[in-house]
Amino acid sequence: MRKLYESIVNHKKTVIVAFVIAMIVSAFCSTMVNVNYDINDYLPDGTASTVALDTMNEEYDMSIPNARVMLSNVTVTQALEMKQKLSEIEGVEDVTWLDDVIDTEIPLETADKDTVENYYKDNNALFTVTINEHTRIETVNAIRDLIGDDNAMAGAAINTAIAAQATNKEVKNIIFLVIPICLAVLFLTSSSWIEPILLLGSIGVAILLNKGSNLMFGTISFVTNAAGGVLQLAVSMDYSIFLLHRFQEMREEGQAPKEAMINALCKSTGSILSSGLTTVIGFAALILMRFKIGPDMGLAMAKAIFLSLITVFVLFPVVLLYCYPLIDKTKHKSLLPDFGKFGQFVTKLMVPAVLIFVLFIIPCNLGQKENFFSYGSSQIFSTDTQIGRDTKIIEDTFGKSNNLVLMVPKGDLEKETELSKKLHDMPQVSSILSYVDNAGAEVPMDYLDNETLSKLISENYSRLVLTVDADFEGEATFNLIDEIRSLAKSYYGDEYLLAGESASTYDLMDTITKDNDRVNLIAIGAVFFVLLLSMKSITIPVILVLAIETAIWINLSVPYFTNDFVFYIAYLIISSVQLGATVDYAILLTSRYMEVREKASKKQTVVETLRSTTVSIMTSASILTIAGMLLWKISTHGILSQLGHLLARGTALSTIIVLFVIPGMLYIFDGLIQKTTVGVKFYNKKEKGVYEKEDYTALELD
């Protein structure tokens, strides 16, 4: 490695030019990366609802109805005029209203009241709209311009379009705020006014390279797009800090800048790579998920950490060699107090803290498994947003409703009629649009116009569009999906197909719940194995993994104890991200403990370890917590906002456990650690009752 590092520092201009070119290319490429906001697109290939959607797209020219538009205070004539205007909007494939199920020329009082009130109630008209997924944003904006803010629209297509527009704007706001806040944190914890700018700048380069290189995937998920840069910044800042501190140490020993940098690189490689590897493992575990948002984020973030490491080992050394005179000129006194007293304070609390920690393990582990989960996108917008208010207005007026499409082999109209009657008997089914319901089995297909027929009959299938009075997800809805599938199977075996947001969400629930335990076990096992090799100990990996996993369990059990719901996607992601991102703090503290313990008593070691590591841990934890809080408070997308909330709270909990509980666990199990760790010999002199501060400044924290 030394020869490689010598080559880097001897070719500084080449390195700068190469990175400038890479940045320009990445900036251009980042504008061409597509972002997908539709959760259902990430279902595994081969699931029932995915096959149904693919088949329907092949057989029919239009999609499932995916939006509802409500007009207030309109007459039937005005509603019919608006239906025509909606139909003329580019991207609107179909609009269904009352005139599609009854003759609106006759007095409505003579028609079936329940049928009428599904579409027209108290002078409010409700249209069921099918929007083309390829023009969602433009079409939704056109519908809003047509109906104005006084009327309402809701549905999966509306949610996706609004999420795409809002998130793009909100991500920019988050970046705009996180940069000055990170600078403020770094100014507090650094010894030079220029250091924070160099640290943030180097990570900024890595973030740009990662965003540009995402073009290799073609399309990335909205989760990766919104959270990727923030996570990369917060998680990989440590690597630059490690190298900077080691470089300063080498220079303080009297080494020339170039030689100091080469030695700093050689001595910090192991610690930086170990830290990076545990983080990569946390993200890489997501790749093993069948739910495709996991692999999407896992690959992108593993690549992000890899590019951060390259930037730290190649670009940052060159930048430091160019800028060290400026760093020297802008040095200032420490703005933070010495944390020796904090270490003494922790020694008084650490044993009780461990006892309290033990009491939390089992109830929090059980509680986080019993959360009420939301699996789809039906609850991503709160009533504080316009789309949330619109959804509530429509549901308060017409009730909850969503559409399912049941496709059965065409040809047997008698069997199809029997199936339709059984479906009508289900209390949740409010209406069915099908050939046998609207034309009648006795009407020959030749008598229908092609436009109407093509909506219901394809080359191989007959289509029944069900409007059901049910939430898009939940136990009752999932039971309804089971009931419809069982009924269809009793008539057609495995030849039927059921599509719709609720069907997709059902399959999504089935998929990602199976992912959870497998992904977590692999992530924990991989991190444990890395710690086993790097620490050469059996006891230490158990302590560190248990500590961080408990922090995760506490974090994820809070919604259960506060009777709140959790987006399962956020639940899945945070389990791996919190482990990968915050186990570094535990490794940092434990490595320092093991180093100092060879020269000091247990209590002295705890104090010195906290004195020398607290600033480093708090710097990284503060940035990650602040990044999570900004994502939580700024994002109107429920999944992203909750992911930020869990990230902020999880980082804070991990930090508290690292600073207050792990020192106590190391203290209590000190003897066992010595016996189960290869090549360790602890200081055995009788421990003194009073802490005597010793000079440990020559020991670098890795």
pLDDT in tens, 172-221: 888 888 888 888 888 888 888 998 999 999 999 999 999 999 999 989 98
Q: What's the maximum distance between 2 C-alpha atoms anywhere in the chain?
A: 101
Quick one: which of 453, 456, 484 has its CA closest to 468? Answer: 484
Residues 199 and 321 in one domain: yes
Q: Which residue has the higher pLDDT, 250 or 444?
A: 250
Q: Does the residue 602 lie in any domain?
A: no
Residues 206 and 311 in one domain: yes
Range of the domain at 459: 387-506
Q: Given 272, 299, 334, which residue is the final one in a domain? A: 334
Residues whose CB falls within 8 Å of the CB of residue 621, separated by 6 or more in sequence, listed in order: 582, 585, 651, 652, 654, 655
Provide the mean pLDDT of the chain: 86
pLDDT of residue 469: 85
Residues 82 and 13 in one domain: no
pLDDT exceeds 80 at position 685: no
The arithmetic mean of pLDDT across residues 566-572, rounded, is 83
- The pLDDT-based confidence of 696 (bands split at 50, 70, 90) is very low
pLDDT in tens, 622-637: 988 998 899 898 888 8
Residues 194 and 330 in one domain: yes
The arithmetic mean of pLDDT across residues 224-235, rounded, is 83
Q: Does the residue 37 lie in any domain?
A: no
pLDDT of residue 178: 84
**pTM of the entire predicted model:** 0.81
- What Å distances lie between residue 295 and 286, 289, 303, 529, 670, CA to CA? 6, 6, 12, 22, 40
Q: Does the residue 59 lie in any domain?
A: no
Residues 150 and 200 in one domain: no
The arithmetic mean of pLDDT across residues 250-271, rounded, is 87
pLDDT exceeds 60 at position 148: yes
pLDDT in tens, 107-147: 888 888 888 888 899 999 999 999 988 888 899 999 999 99
Weakest-pLDDT range from 25-39, 355-369, 542-556? 25-39
Domain count, the chain: 3
pLDDT of residue 452: 62
Residues 82 and 150 in one domain: yes
Segment holding 44, helix H or strand E: none
- The pLDDT-based confidence of 579 (bands split at 50, 70, 90) is confident
Cα 625 versus chain centre, distance: 15
The CATH number given to whatever domain includes residue 100 is 3.30.70
pLDDT exceeds 50 at position 618: yes
pLDDT of residue 701: 35
pLDDT of residue 439: 63
Weakest-pLDDT range from 34-38, 202-206, 345-349? 34-38
pLDDT exceeds 70 at position 449: no
pLDDT of residue 241: 83
The CATH number given to whatever domain includes residue 204 is 1.20.1640.10
- The pLDDT-based confidence of 446 (bands split at 50, 70, 90) is low
- The pLDDT-based confidence of 595 (bands split at 50, 70, 90) is confident
Q: Does the residue 281 lie in any domain?
A: yes
Q: Does the residue 303 lie in any domain?
A: yes
Residues 287 and 209 in one domain: yes
Residues 117 and 227 in one domain: no
Segment holding 692, helix H or strand E: none
The arithmetic mean of pLDDT across residues 347-367, rounded, is 94
What does residue 364 show for φ and ψ, rounded to 5 degrees?
-75, -35
pLDDT of residue 695: 47
Calpha distance 650→613 (Å, rounded): 20
pLDDT exceeds 60 at position 57: yes
Q: Given 487, 506, 525, which residue is the final one in a domain? A: 506
pLDDT of residue 70: 95
> And the tokens for 175?
């970046």
DSSP-assigned letter for residue 98: G
- What Å distances lie between residue 471 and 98, 114, 506, CA to CA? 22, 19, 12
Residues 99 and 148 in one domain: yes
pLDDT in tens, 79-89: 999 999 999 99
Q: Does the residue 140 lie in any domain?
A: yes
pLDDT exceeds 70 at position 445: no
Residues 281 and 401 in one domain: no
Percent of the chain exceeding pLDDT 70 equals: 95
Q: Which residue has the higher pLDDT, 684 or 638?
A: 638
Q: Given 334, 356, 379, which residue is the final one in a domain? A: 334
**Which of 49-58, 208-217, 228-237, 517-526 reaches the highest mean pLDDT?**
208-217
Calpha distance 93→95 (Å, rounded): 7
Residues 129 and 232 in one domain: no
Quick one: which of 618, 637, 636 has its CA closest to 626? Answer: 618
Calpha distance 86→142 (Å, rounded): 9
- Confirm if 651 and 625 have CB atoms less than 8 A apart: yes
Q: Which residue has the higher pLDDT, 571 or 684?
A: 571
pLDDT of residue 450: 60
Residues 474 and 391 in one domain: yes
pLDDT of residue 440: 57
pLDDT of residue 702: 34
pLDDT in tens, 464-492: 888 888 888 888 899 999 999 999 999 99
- Confirm if 628 and 648 have CB atoms less than 8 A apart: yes
Q: Which residue has the higher pLDDT, 699 or 61?
A: 61
Percent of the chain exceeding pLDDT 90 equals: 37
The arithmetic mean of pLDDT across residues 410-435, rounded, is 88
pLDDT of residue 191: 82
